[in-house]
Structure 1
Amino acid sequence: MSPHSPKLSIIPVQSASFISSADPPRWTGRIQLPGNRHVVDILIFEILGEFKAFPAFCPHQGINLTHCPLVGEKMLVCPGHQLCIEALNDTHSYHVEKVEGRFVVILIEEGPVDQNAQIFGDQHSLALERMREEIEQLRMANLKQERQILVITRSMDAMLSESELQKLNFKERAEQEKAFARFVNRILDTMDDLMFFFDKKGRIRRVNTAVERELGFTEADLVTSCIDDLLPVADRQYLADRLPILPWPVHSVVMETIRLNGCYSGEHELLSKHLDNAQAVYWLKSSVLHSEQGKLEGAVITALNITELKVREMRLRLSSKVFDNCSEAIFITDPQGTIQEVNDSFCEITGYERGEVLGKNTRLLKSNMHDQAFYKQLWHSLLNHGSWRGEIWDRRKNGELCPMLASINAVYDDQDQLMHYVAVCSDISQQKQTEQQLQQLAYYDALTQLPNRALFKDRLEHEIRVAQRSHTRLAVFFLDLDHFKNVNDTLGHWVGDYLLKIVASRIQRCLRESDTISRLGGDEFTIILPGLIGIADSTELAQRLNDEVQKPIEIAEHAIHVTTSIGIAVFPDDGNDFHTLTKHADTAMYASKAKGRGQFQYFEAGMNEAAHQRLLLENALRLAIEQEDFQLHYQLKVGGSLERIAGAEALIRWKRPGFGMMPPDRFISIAEETGLIIPLGAWILRMACLQAKAWKDKIAEFRIAVNLSPRQLLDDDFVSILDRILAETGTSPEWIELEVTESLVMHDIDKACERLCQIRSRGIRIAMDDFGTGYSSLSYLQKLPLQVLKIDRSFVQAYTGDPTSSEAIFIKTIIALGHSLNMTVVAEGVENESQLAVLKAHGCDEFQGYYFSPPLSADEFERLWLDPNKHAVDFTASLNND
């Protein structure tokens, strides 16, 4: 720099802040001149793109010029003496620049500053560049320092925060412990029971405020005194007499009593400062206190004032005579209905001894004559009004019904808390007998004692409501005696009346307890048959009624033969109300008469025909079982390698005359419903065992599989029947395999599991048939003793040849599941080569289906498959040749 060049000083503006509220807006800040520690406050304005600096305080009187207006862009007017203050740029060698967002003042120490030439001219470009470098260095140094300060600050803040947090935690924990201690003290002091804490020598260490309230002693009065001092002399002596001889000195009989027994409770008086409390009685209950290390520290006693209870006890004694000698039955219960006391009249009326009912619930007397709504209304009245009065039917000890007129009242304590219920009951059996006689005349037929038309209507409407709720059926029968008028006209009305009684008795013998028979009048009877699942029961009943009624009746040396025509309507198929059902049953009855009398007819001809055919089928099935008109066919089971015969499944066929060979799906369900499956299943098992014995030497490890029905397996005699058949046929258990279905097992999983375990223990293999079509639960697969898992034919036949299809994946999953459970997996329903291929690819153990062989008679099966060399050839090739 030339020696004649001015010397530049760069001074950063400190604490710069923008004041937007001033007019015009401006910045405030301060600078420190070189060589001078004095700080100068300045104002900075932006005027026509340039920055000008003004003093922030008047140089004459020191008045603050921060908000003073700007005059002529070069002067501020002092509000104190109205003098103009010029910009520093004009009066001194100052120049203001904004560099990198920060203000700096450039001080030119020699000569005036020509802003255009000296600051921005070429001769001072190096100075300006140096100034900028110094400003950047200063900024970077400040930035580094700020970062260091920030790191240190954050570290210090974290340490301070951690310290403060620990302090807060310690403080919070201390406050919690103090609060808990205060809470415990509040609980102790708010208790109504008196509480005493004393050491192992019986010296009192702490009492609650209830002691002062009851006895008048403060804690200061009792501390270090002995707990025994609060007991009367007689009570202390009572406890001392019951102590054994101890090897240590007895400081307190109370403490020693508690120590020896671990606890103590009893009734005692406590000494008090209050004269009116001298006769107070308390129930004392105590237990020992141990330290955390298990060392005996003392004991605690709670004392409950039971003086009022003792007074009430006396009052109860005085009133017991009235209670015991009342002629009406009285019993007292707690709020839950537990009987606490009864009088002698109660025992006389109900037949129970006092000891038989105390502590028992009033349900002991329940007659089941009232529905839930009755008891709901009774309890609603008791809980909301405190009383109930009405008629209730109870049951005596001997089972007789006992109508009572009862009055029940709630008893409350002084705090309006329910304590007891008191019931006073009068026996109104005699009144009820009179009412029943009147009701008999109103609702029952005088001749036959059967329900009349009015009661029939009530019962049918009730049964319709029950059937709607339970989703069951009911049948309405209309019975009319054929040619009954001839009996009245020829033999007289008294014979006709006697005949009606006999017929009514015969009809009743054919009915269940739940059924209702009524006489509508004349020779017309009606029957309500509730709880039907199908119509087989109603068909069977109609046939039985016809057979029973038409039996000869001997009256006055006359053998009278009478038949009945029956019409049947079924709810809800033929109607869902009283009038519709009775009208349709009546219509069906006339249709029955038109068919020739002595018959029955359903309202719908289609239903009648189906029921008729079902009855014919059932009767034919019974006869077929008696005559053994069945055959067993056997379907081949092939080993996984297709090189051996694994066994066969026995399948029943019925050769019904006139119908040809009937498959099992035509008659097994009827056999199951009627119970005929029991003798039929035994026949199948016997035939299969005999066949297994006959073929046992032809092929090694050959088994015949037999299907079991639910009713057959769960029959109580099945295991004994199985043992008898094995013994009589000489069949070894390993020659037989029994197949059960998922639906069979789930009828009663526990009983089925127990029964299958009994079968398995005899050495018979058990297979799960139709797997995947029912519940398919792993839980029962693990629980049941199964050795074979059969893939249902529906899954096999659903496979269309795509090995990536969901059907193929499902087959693979079942096979893998069976193998994981150590079971042999059998696929049934194999009908083509693609099905066989996917099963083989996934490792299925055995195959069964029409691809190998249809079910065959025993002779055909033996001829075709039990050739000594047949099991050693390739089955696919063999089948193709055949």
Structure 2
Amino acid sequence: MTLTKRTIISLSFLMILMALLMSVILWIYVSFIFRESEVKSARTNMERLCGVIDREVEAIDSFCKDYAFWDDTYNFIYKKNQDYILKNYDVPYLKTQSIHYVCIMDMNGRILYSACYSPEDYKKMNFDFKGDYSWEKIFSKGSSSIEKGLVSLGDHILLVSSRPISTSLMDAVPNGRLVLGRFLDKERISNISSMMHFNFDLIPLKEKNISQVEDTVDINSTDIHVYRILKDVAGSSIAGLMLHHDRGLKDIAIDTIKAIWFVIFFLTLLVIFALVFVIRRIVINPLHELTESAYLIAENEDFARRLPVIAVEEFCKFSTAFNSLLDVLAGVNQHLEEKVVERTKNLIAANQELNLMKEIFEHSLEGILITDSSANIINVNPAFTNITGYTKDEVIGKNPQLLKSGFHDKVYFTHMWRTLNTSGHWSGEIWNRHKDGRAYPLFLAISAIKNISGEVIHYVGIFHDMSDIKRQEELIRYQAYHDALTSLPNRVLLKSRIERAISHSTRSGKRFCILFADLDNFKFINDSLGHTSGDLFLRSAASRLKNISRDEDTVARVGGDEFVILLEDVPDEKPAVRVARRIIDSFKEPFDINGTKVYGGITIGISIYPEDGEEADALLKNADIAMYRAKEKGKQGFALFKPSLNESAERKFRIENELRKAIDEGGFEVFFQPKIDLKSGTIVGVEGLARWFHPQGIISPSDFIPLAEEIGLISEIDRIVLYSALDKISSLNKTLSYNLKLSLNCSAKLLHFRGLPEIISDALLKYDFRPECFELEITENSLMRDLNSSRAMINRLFELGISIALDDFGTGLSSLAQLKNLPISSMKIDGTFIRDIDASPGDEHIVKAIIELSKKIGIESIAEGVEKETQFQFLKDSGCDIAQGFFICKPLSLEELRAFLGLS
């Protein structure tokens, strides 16, 4: 048995023995302590019980006192009035007060009234108390003393009080005695037990010889009984009290002892573990360490090893003596070891170098093959097999020519061997053929291995596969010159091909054409259907352009919705015109985008080399200018470049820059044209109109709004006008006795912007502008661009509480069926009908019809562009509601409007 096991067993036995001894002593001690505590508690409860009985006697005495010192009782002794008895001592009342015995006597001891009732059913009962000294004391004749306490009544105990009878002021000589009693019956005992939370019983004197014992304690396994003698008013023993005290502390004591025993057991185990740990650390482990070290020295013949020096003195001495012996042996062996080390050192170094070379050869990622001087393969590494597909057994003894791909001619290999023989090495890219037949590129380096005499004895080839590198280079090259979405050539590749076409045309004298195409409705499609559908539309458009063009033509994507077709080797512009027409016709057919038919037109500009430019950038620019000229003419068409277009484009570019600058620097001002109620002649509202304060003068909306819509700046201008107009009219309305209604135009782009209701709501809230005083004017054409989207937007705007006016009515393509369900509050007659109303009966009929129509559908009619009195009078006679125009008032600044309204 090991020392560790012996130590653990011995310590465990001693500690367990000590724990058992402590547990027994603790059991005896704790049992005694808890038993004494229970007895003390039982005696205390007996004292409490006796106190309760005394308080019961005091309660009877207090009740007896109230009736004894009462004029009615005092008078009863003289008058013997039975009403007094009936009113004060009837059974129901006595029952409520738990009074079982009543006796009234005069000072001669003559009983005037006496009644005793059983405690169970309050029936009268008879008893004989003659000869009982305690009762004689209670009924003391002629005595004015107060007697109270216990008396026996047969087998019953009665709590009694006897007091002399006097007046209420207690100033008269007693004339009798009142005795009241209450049985200490089972019900009363039960009530007291419930109140005290323990049980007790009355015991006859004959049981347990209790008359001879005072406060006897009887202890058993479940409870403790305490006995006490009850004495009557005369001092005689009449009964015994037995109190039952539950031994709850006994169970607590047992649980406590168990818990303490568990703690002792746990501490015992802890001490055992601690002692074992300490002994193992101080004695066993050092001894084991010394033994193990000595064993290793003997087993391995490692005489250089030494026993560890332990801090414990005895172990230290042993280690020192043993190590001294080893030092002597080491000195003997040292000389021999030096010689062995010297001889084996060179062998080890050579072996390490060979192992290193072997590891490099086996684990290199580059393929390695070694041939003899005749170029026959003698060894290959695993990477060779991974790259070529040939195993080592398949190539040993064969010439590397079995890897030839056939991509290189004889001149290539002649140059390789010439370089190898001259310089001793060659490197470069080469194509070989895999075992499965596919060709692959690799980078190969060959070195010639020579002996001392300079003769070639081996060739070593190291190579790695370049397939991934080549594929990556090809992918990068493709991505650099092609559009990611459509896979068409991009602007870089297009310019390269244009420059190549220029060189070719210069040599051949032929022309080529550039067709610059722009998709007309792409932004609308992208915004309404989403970017995913927009991308699908672009790919479909690219495919359609590719199918129409020739194989030798180049179709490129140069921007978001811009494409360029390069037509080479054409005599003049006619082929380009034919292609342009075919493209435009093909785009009139709908596109199927995720099951939805989408119509997208295309506009094309054409430039010709060399007439329209001699460089790629110039040709592209001029084709772009021609395309914009075609858009100005109405889209879905084409235009050939003319020099005059360049000047127009430069002017347009200049205006665009100035327009952006005006937006950034606040160059726009809002003017207001009053609206008049034709019936009352009062000003009911104003229309806000944007004015551009250009350095060269004020520019009207008709000159810059179309350009702003084209370049995408109209939304910014709309917001500027909205906030400025609300700010100014809000401040103006605060000075008026009524509110002017503000009308503003809404561009087509802003109408289809999803956040428009939030923009208007925030602006109205910011300037505290009442929604019912704001009107948004929407043109028919804007409405019909996307009727479903427009209807949803108008419903959202109507929910804000603002008014919606249909502007330029009669110029669009809407129908009454399309308009009848829209929440439109007014219909604005276009100024073109008003302008010629004097000379054109047709315009007159149209205006009357519109006014009549508005009345029938219950909306206001508004006429704009009223410039003559005759026009004004005609509109008034025709029943038009509101009019505006230069005849009434020109557009005014805020200050001019205030003056017009008479506010300054």
- Looking at CA atoms only, which structure, 1 or 2, has the larger radius of gyration? 2
Place the TM-score, normalised by the shorter chain, in its bin.
0.3 to 0.5
**TM-score, with normalisation over the residues of structure 2?**
0.33
**TM-score, with normalisation over the residues of structure 1?**
0.34
- Which structure has more relative contact order (CA 8 Å, sep 6+)? It is 2
